[in-house]
Structure formats: structure tokens, C-alpha cells
Amino acid sequence: MTTPHDNELELLKDGGQSALATLFSNYRDRLERIVSFRLDHRIRGRIDAADILQEAFLQVSERLPAFLESSDVSFFVWLRQQTLQTLIDIHRREFRQKRDVNREIHFASAGTSGGTSLSIAQFLIDHVTSPSQVAVHAEEMQWLQQALNSMNEVDREVLALRHFEQLGNNQVAEILGLTPTAASNRYLRAAARLSEIMQRLNSGSGPAKK
């Protein structure tokens, strides 16, 4: 299978750092989205996604040769891994003083389901507490949160990757270590299950869905 990934590797091998810079800036928006999705809201005041990407880029440029030597994942997935690792490091650094055991665990696994549910919950909470959003979406958010919480980890992760990180199926497959077909099926199942849960919640206590 020839994918854009192979081309990227070629580019990186030929173009080195300048190719890296170009590719990184191509992915910048997506990475920024991922980072903001997973960034702990308590440090958002001090750190924003751009800062983390800056630091991630330094990491990435240092580790690029190692990656090129033995790359078992595609460039983007690697980029995402590195970026999330940077994020984890920063989280650790930020919370070192007021150590929080739970948080340590969550951040250690950011990018997997534990971190994901936290992130989803977090941004849903953000919305609830944001005055402009409260009235309109509060309930929808609440249901969504409940629904997601009741799902298993992999389903939740698939949905987060597809919709919050806005990754394509192939990338999701790579991250989760599934074949594209399996990933696709898994996603559809998860989406269907989420609809189901939402509907159940909706028909139960909630107001009529538009």
C-alpha cells in the first residue's frame, strides 16, 4: 500500500530538518487541536497549545534521526506521540509541586482511554461553565458526558480520535494497532452505541431532542 506516509518518510530522509519544519507546519493545526483537547484546563492560563507545540517541535527535531532509522509508525502518528509525550512532561512539571496521585495516573496514560475520558469530561465541563454556552447546550453536554462515561475505553478512544482529534480512520487504526477495516467497524459500532445511549437518556428524563 502506498500512502502519504511513505512519501513523508522519503521527504524527511531527503529534506531533513527543513522538510520536518514543513511537515510539522502542515500538521500544526491538527496537533494544536489534539493538544488543546488534552491540555489540562488548570494550566491553560499559563500554557497554551502553541507553547507546547514549540517545545514538541524541538523534541521532534532532536529525535528525528532516530525515528528515520527505525520507524514502525507513520510520521504523523509518531508526531502525535511525541507531542503528547511533551504534553505529559509539561503536565508532570506543572503539577510536581501540588502532587495529585489520580492526576499522575491519568497523565501518565494521556492518549489512552483514561486520559481521554478525562479530556472529554474536562472540555464538556468547560462548556458548561462557559456562560455563553450554558443555556443552549448544557443538557446535551451532560448527556454526552454520561453516555461517554458509560462506554468502554476503546470505544471512547475511537470516538475521541475521530471527532475530537479529527483523525482519519487509517491513523486511528495505526494508533490503536488495528487493521483499517477493524478500526472502521469499531468506530461505527461505537458511534451506534453512543447514539443508542444518548437516545435512551433522551427518551428517559431529558427534554425532546430537536
Partner 1 sequence: MVSEDEQHPVDQLAEEFAERIRSGESPQIEDYCRTHSEHAEMIRAVFPSIQIVERASQREEQHRRSGESESRPPSIVSMPQTLGDFQLIREIGRGGMGVVYEALQKSLKRHVALKVISALIAGSEKQLRRFRREAESVASLHHSNIVPVFGIGEDHGLQYYAMQLIDGVTLAEIVSHLRRPPDSSFSAKKDTDTVANSGNHTPGGSSRSHRFGSNEAVLQLLGMMSAADVNLLQSSLSVDLSGDLSKTPDPLAVTKMQDGDADPASAAITRANAATDDDSHELHQLRPAEDVNLNRSYFRNIARLIAEVANAVDYAHRQGILHRDLKPANLILDRDGTIWVADFGLARQADMDGVTQTGEIVGTLRYMAPEQLRGQADIRTDIYALGLTLYELLALKPAVAAPQVLDAHGRKSVAPLRSIRPEIPADLETITLKACMLEPERRYQSAREFEADLHRFLEDRPIHARRVTPVERLWRWSKRNPQIASLSAATLFLLFMIVVILGFSNRRIQKALNARNDQYERAEKNLSEKTVALKNVELERARAEMNLNLAIAAFEEVFNNIAARGRSESLLDALSDEELLPATDAVLSNADVTLLETLLGFFDRLAAENSKDLSTESAAARRRVGDIQQQLGRLENAQKSYRIALDAYRAISSKNSDDGRPQLAQAEILHQLMLTSMKRGELVTAIKTLDDLRTVLKENSVVAESTDGKYVLATAINSLVSFGLRTMGDPRQRSKGPLPGRIISTTEALSPTLAERVRRETEANRESFEILQSLIMEKPLNVAYRIELAQATKDKARLAQLSRDQKQADEAMSSAIKILEDLHKEFPTSDRFKYELAETLLTVLSFRPADMQRLMRSQQLCRELVEAHPTVPEYRSLLAMSLARVAGMQFFQGRTERAEEMLRESVRHQEQLADQFPDVLLYQFSLVRTLQQLATVYADDKRPDQAKETLDSAIARVDSLSSRTRFRGPVQQMLTRLRESREKLGD
Task: Give residues in contact with partner 1 (CB under 8 A).
Answer: 1, 13-19, 21, 25, 33, 36-37, 44-52, 54-55, 58, 61-62, 64-65, 90, 93-94, 123-124, 126-127, 130, 133, 137, 140-141, 144, 147, 159, 162-164, 166, 168-169, 179-182, 184-185, 187-188, 191-192, 194-196, 198-199
Instruction: Give the residue among 108, 132, 107, 99 at the shortest CA–CA distance from 39.
Output: 107
Q: How far is the CB of 86 from partner 1 (least distance, A)?
A: 10
Based on the number of CB atoms within 10 Å of its own CB, is 184 exposed (0-12), middle (13-18) or buried (19 or more)?
middle
Distances (CA, A) of 159 to 120, 162, 166, 167, 172: 10, 5, 9, 10, 10
Q: Residue 105 or residue 179: which is nearer to partner 1 going by CB?
A: 179
CB within 8 Å of 131: residues ≥ 6 apart: none
Q: How far is the CB of 178 from partner 1 (least distance, A)?
A: 10
Q: How far is the CB of 149 from partner 1 (least distance, A)?
A: 14
Q: Residue 33 or residue 103: which is nearer to partner 1 going by CB?
A: 33
Q: Residue 104 or residue 140: which is nearer to partner 1 going by CB?
A: 140
Q: How far is the CB of 62 from partner 1 (least distance, A)?
A: 7
Amino acid at 28: R
Q: How far is the CB of 112 from partner 1 (least distance, A)?
A: 19
